[in-house]
Amino acid sequence: AKNVGILAMEIYFPPTFVQQEALEAHDGASKGKYTIGLGQDCMAFCTEVEDVISMSLTAVTSLLEKYKIDPKQIGRLEVGSETVIDKSKSIKTFLMPIFEVVFSTERGNTDIEGVDSTNACYGGTAALLNCVNWVESSSWDGRYGLVVCTDSAVYAEGPARPTGGAAAIAMLIGPDAPISFESKFRGSHMSHAYDFYKPNLTSEYPVVDGRLSQTCYLMALDSCYKSFCHKYVRTEVQETVSIFLYNYGSQFSPNVASTFGYRYERLEGKQFSLSDADYFIFHSPYNKLVQKSFARLLFNDFLRNASSVDAIAKEKLGPFSTLTGDESFQSRELEKASQQASKPLYDAKVQPTTLVPKQVGNTYTASLYAAFASLIHNKHSELAGKRVVLFSYGSGLTATMFSLRLHEGRHPFSLSNISTAMNVAGKLESRHEFTPKKFVETLKLMENRYGAKDFMTSKDSSLLSPGTYYLTEVDSMYRRFYAQK
């Protein structure tokens, strides 16, 4: 299969949200801390009738309907989530009723590979890479893959609470996609850290070392960027060598050719830099970290003397060129200088990707793809031919940087139709604002409900739009029941 990637997307986030400005005042934080300091506008959250299963049921049914996909055409379904509802039963299995029963007289589709992937915010990317690899592999049976990222991010009272959020994203995977993977360009960084984890199985809240999680994130970004750049150059060189051999026959040994290839690479300056991609998308716990991340990539380019760094940026970053790696992560001055130096490039290459993460909050596994959805929403008519580089991070820790190429595609799998189907603006506009007090009450109720059995919800679906799934009951055997509005 060629040009494997994302054919279609749907995004769902709860219609209930709190304003960060109001939350700031409620929490007694200094004015501007959440809005300017963290860079966030609003935060979505699930009320007692919604959870990661209901959100993913909504996203998947809506995707199948909007793009007219027969459930029988799905051959693999993978879910990424870090919201634990059951320690054994996959969220994927909760989605199977969509496929099992088509009509009462007809046999549904149960021949669907895949289970859940979990490692903090990275599970969605693991699921996505699995599906893409499957379509590219010899075990592919010609049907579509389906990836679901679903999370409800809630924190205990304290400084992390404003960095929550909730959403589910469904992505259809197949060949000849308008959003195709440049599969050779991938850099990963995997390591052991206690920056954010969920060891308390009776609570939905994580244990988090906020400062450490930021440093781990930025170090993983550095490492992934280095691997990514290395693989980019190697692939460019390989391509150069094959063209060379094709043009000049076999009178040169591969050694000669590869020497020529490296020389060519140096002469042509083929190393990867921020200039080689049109957009950069980051896992977005809060917008300030995204700003710092892009600034860190520019600092990397500066150290590598790459073409993306103009004279003004060079002058700003010059004083930091002799810092050791560790010092560079500790330096607040460097952080500020690189954020300033990268501002014009940030506005062009990152800002269009920030809408949903700023409005909805950190959606864990869905966060990176919510940022991608923002780009499609904002720029769909001008994305054909563009390259987008994405950085996925999950605490603990796992991270990958990878590259996508965009094409207009053909209806219904076109960028413009994906934008229309997701209807990001419509969904944002039809939300209902909660006061911080009501938000805190909701979280208190959810704390008691977490891991509980034998209860009915209010079944109040009045704030949900038609077609949305919601939780009605958890019975004495912990079995969960959902209805569709």
Closest CA to 114 of 64, 149, 141, 75: 75
User: Contacting ligand ACO (CB under 6 A), which of 67, 94, 196, 402?
Assistant: 196
108 binds ligand ACO (CB under 6 A): no
Task: Determine the interface stretch with ligand ACO among 24-32, 91-99, 298-306, 463-471 (rule: CB under 6 A).
Answer: 24-32
| 26 sits near ligand ACO (criterion: CB under 6 A) | no
Q: Residue 159 or residue 436: which is nearer to ligand ACO going by CB?
A: 159
By CB under 6 A, is residue 467 in contact with ligand ACO?
no
From residue 268, how far is each of 157, 202, 305, 384 by CA, in Å? 54, 57, 14, 26
**3 state DSSP class of 286:** coil
d(C-alpha 473, C-alpha 344), whole Å: 51
In the bound complex, what is the minimum distance in angstroms from residue 146's beta carbon to ligand ACO?
Answer: 25
Q: Which is nearer to ligand ACO, 68 or 211 (CB)?
A: 211
Contact track, ligand ACO, 203-232, x by CB under 6 A: -----x-x--xx--x---------------
Q: State yes or no: residue 396 binds ligand ACO (CB under 6 A).
A: no
Nearer to ligand ACO, 144 or 217 (CB): 217
> DSSP 3-state helix, strand, coil percentages of the chain (rounded to 5)?
45, 20, 35
Q: Per residue in 25-60, is it b (16+ CB within 10 Å) or e — as a string?
A: eebebeeeebbebbbbbbbbbbbbbbbbbbbbbbbb
CB of 289 to ligand ACO, least distance (A): 6
Binding of ligand ACO by 280 (CB under 6 A): no
Given the residues 50, 82, 236, 335, the one annotated as active site: 82
Q: Which is nearer to ligand ACO, 45 or 217 (CB)?
A: 217
User: Half-sphere exposure of residue 354, counting CA atoms within 13 Å on the CB side?
Assistant: 21
Instruction: Pick one of 61, 109, 117, 163: the residue that binds ligand ACO (CB under 6 A).
Output: 163
Q: Are 173 and 132 in contact (CB under 8 A)?
A: yes
CA separation (Å) from 311 to 168, 270, 274, 306? 43, 20, 15, 12
User: Should residue 160 be labelled a site residue for ligand ACO when binding is judged by CB under 6 A?
Assistant: yes
Query: CB of 199 within 8 A of CB of 421?
Result: no
DSSP letter at 72 equals G
Backbone angles phi, psi at 120, to 5 degrees: 45, -135
Question: Considering the rule CB under 6 A, would residue 333 count as an interface residue with ligand ACO?
Answer: no
Asked about 121 being catalytic, the answer comes back as yes
Instruction: Say which residues have a Cβ less than 8 Å from residue 42's Cβ, sequence separation at least 6.
Output: 17, 18, 19, 20, 358, 359, 360, 361
CB of 211 to ligand ACO, least distance (A): 6
User: Helix, strand, or coil here: 416?
Assistant: helix
Q: Which of 24, 46, 50, 121 is catalytic?
A: 121
Nearest to 455, CA basis, from 15, 28, 26, 51: 51
Report the relative pairing of strands 74-80 and 116-117 from DSSP bridges.
Answer: parallel
Quick one: 163 or 354, whose CB is closer to ligand ACO? 163
User: Which helix (H) or strand (E) is 153 found in, with range?
Assistant: strand 144-153
**Residue 288 C-beta: closest distance to ligand ACO, Å:** 5
Cβ contact 167:44 at 8 Å: yes
DSSP code at position 119: B
| Among 2, 30, 106, 322, contact with ligand ACO (rule: CB under 6 A) | 30
Residue of 50, 224, 283, 380 marked active site: 283
Binder to ligand ACO among 22, 26, 27, 33 (CB under 6 A)? 33
Least CB distance from residue 86 to ligand ACO, whole Å? 22
Which phi and psi angles does 148 have, rounded to 5°? -125, 130
Stretch 115-154: interaction string toward ligand ACO, x if CB under 6 A: ------x---------------------------------
Render 372-403 in DSSP notation, one character per residue: HHHHHHHHGGG-TT-EEEEEEEETTTEEEEEE
Candidate list 26, 226, 231, 288; residue touching ligand ACO; CB under 6 A: 288
Smallest distance from the beta carbon of 371 to ligand ACO, in angstroms?
A: 13
Minimum Å gap between C-beta 208 and ligand ACO is: 5
Identified binder of ligand ACO from the candidate list 3, 26, 37, 440, rule CB under 6 A: 37
Closest distance of CB 129 from ligand ACO, Å = 19
Using CB under 6 A, list all residues that contact ligand ACO: 30-33, 36-38, 121, 159-160, 163, 196, 208, 210, 213-214, 217, 285, 288-289, 362, 395
By annotation, the residues acting in catalysis are 82, 121, 283
